[in-house]
Amino acid sequence: MMIYKPYEYQTAASNFIKEHDACALLLDMGLGKTVITLTSVKELIRSGEVRRVLIIAPLRVAQTTWPSEIKKWDHLCDLTYRVATGTEKQRISALSDNADLYIINRENVDWLINNNAIKFNFDMVVVDELSSFKSYQAKRFKSLLKVRWKIKRIVGLTGTPSSNGLMDLWAEYKILDQGERLGKFITHYREKYFDPDKRNANVIFSYKLKPFAEQCIYDAVRDITISMKCTDYLKMPELINNYVEVELDSKESLQYKTLKQEMIVEIIGEGEIDAVNSAVLASKLLQMANGAVYGEEKKVVKIHDRKLDALEDLIEAANGKPVLVAYWYKHDLSRIKERFDCREILTDKDINDWNSGQIQVGLIHPASCSMGLNLQQGGSTLIWFGLTWSLELYEQTNARLWRQGQKDNVVIHHIITKNTMDEKVLKALENKNQVQEALIEAVRMEVNL
């Protein structure tokens, strides 16, 4: 158990939570958002302002991160909590016990609210990774909104509030303030701040911000929002991004271009690869850039080994130092495993073995290992074998190594196949990051240290 000696920025953030019935904390990974929130929650409980607190988090974070933080700090040790994950019987049992905090994974929010066996009687809710409520069509959003009027206090935590642009913010702030700042309806929000962009007759595929809209949105949410960047308050290791380009040969390039233009290509000896729509086409092209693609009946069709060769060079260049490799498709995983002595980071034992230096090449999937894992003790090199369109998953995965407690400079390698969809994904991530950075800058809290 450790004695909690908060930084000034942590005290300022805890006070912000106590001073606002509804608020959003846009905090970089590594700033201690969990202990910041728990500190303010404890004080609110002890003062009698709140009685029962529900914490909604990603599954692994709900099961490990929040409980471990409560146990870690001396000033939190008397908080009682129950983790409501697992089977329905286990969840009901946990929620029926008396405790200060109830921690549940976000996939079970709809079950919790619409289950007649459990009464929703929480007067404070903490949404860890508020961005997971960005879809106004999702069941979790609709369910939480249904009981929002019962909640006296609510806190939203995230480091990536607008990973796909400012359209995401409406649902997130609707949960927080019930539409007070960005409007009660998504249609009104769109009409006020956006114009139709790509469309086909009456079908609108995307929207673009009106000229005045960006700053108006920032101004609208500023009073209940603060942002903090780790580079402002912590001594962070240097972050080095490296781009390793590989190139298709003439045969492979022709196969790629044919699929792109015709949405179908014949691979000699393997059969046809086809795409039924543009979304499937984008996925198939990304797969081809990685070196293999799913064909008929999920058969894996090998295209090239360019990225595997580049990965081998990077592993050898690490000269025995541990490296993490981020993959996206299952056939990427199987091809990497066939070629290298490596191990997936899946369980608590895997995590412990990685952090103790027992794994030289660790494999992670951004969707399952991007949040709540501290992997900085085991290494400082991350290699993106295959990219993701999601800025949130991209940044969260990078933050497994580039975070407080990392002793070495962090190197992030990106293996990019030239003249393919890889380059478009990189550009999209960069453009999304510019929008998100503008929002974070607009609501940044300045703490005089």
State the pLDDT at residue 372: 59
Q: φ, ψ for residue 339 (rounded to 5)?
A: -95, -30
State the pLDDT at residue 190: 94
Cα 349 off chain centre by: 23
CA dihedral 321, 325, 330, 331 (to 10 degrees): -70
Query: For residue 165, which of 349, 400, 389 has the smallest C-alpha distance?
Result: 389
Name the one residue in this structure whose structure tokens are 């809209």. 213
Cα 61 off chain centre by: 12
Angle subtended at Cα 43 by Cα 18 and Cα 371, rounded to the nearest 5 degrees: 75
More confident residue, 108 or 61: 108
- The domain ranges of the chain are 8-232, 239-428
Helices 213-221 and 169-177 cross at an angle (nearest 10°) of 30
Average pLDDT value for residue range 194-201: 83
- pTM of structure: 0.75
State the pLDDT at residue 38: 98
**CATH fold of 8-232:** Rossmann fold (3.40.50)
pLDDT tens for residues 243-260? 999 999 999 999 999 999
Residues in the chain, overall count: 449
Cα 178 off chain centre by: 24
State the pLDDT at residue 370: 52
8-232 and 239-428 have identical folds? yes
Radius of gyration of the chain (CA): 23
State the pLDDT at residue 449: 45
pLDDT higher than threshold 80 for residue 446: no
Buried b (16+ CB within 10 A) or exposed e, 37-49: bbbbbbbbbeeee
Range with the poorest average pLDDT among 125-134, 214-223, 388-397, 435-444: 435-444
**CATH fold of 239-428:** Rossmann fold (3.40.50)
pLDDT tens for residues 16-63? 999 999 999 998 877 889 999 999 999 999 999 999 999 999 888 898
What's the token pair of residue 89?
Answer: 């019987």
Angle subtended at Cα 222 by Cα 24 and Cα 32, rounded to the nearest 5 degrees: 35
pLDDT tens for residues 305-364? 999 999 999 999 888 899 999 999 999 999 999 999 999 998 889 989 999 999 999 999
Q: What are the C-alpha distances in Å from 200 to residues 12, 35, 330? A: 49, 49, 34
253-257: long-range pairs with CB below 8 Å, 24+:
253/419, 255/288, 255/303, 256/285, 256/288, 256/289, 256/420
Supply the mean pLDDT for the chain: 91
State the pLDDT at residue 442: 81
d(CA 207, CA 193): 10
More confident residue, 434 or 184: 184
State the pLDDT at residue 11: 95
The single-letter DSSP state of residue 238 is P
pLDDT tens for residues 78-103? 999 999 999 999 999 999 999 999 99
Range with the poorest average pLDDT among 109-113, 181-185, 275-279, 383-387: 275-279
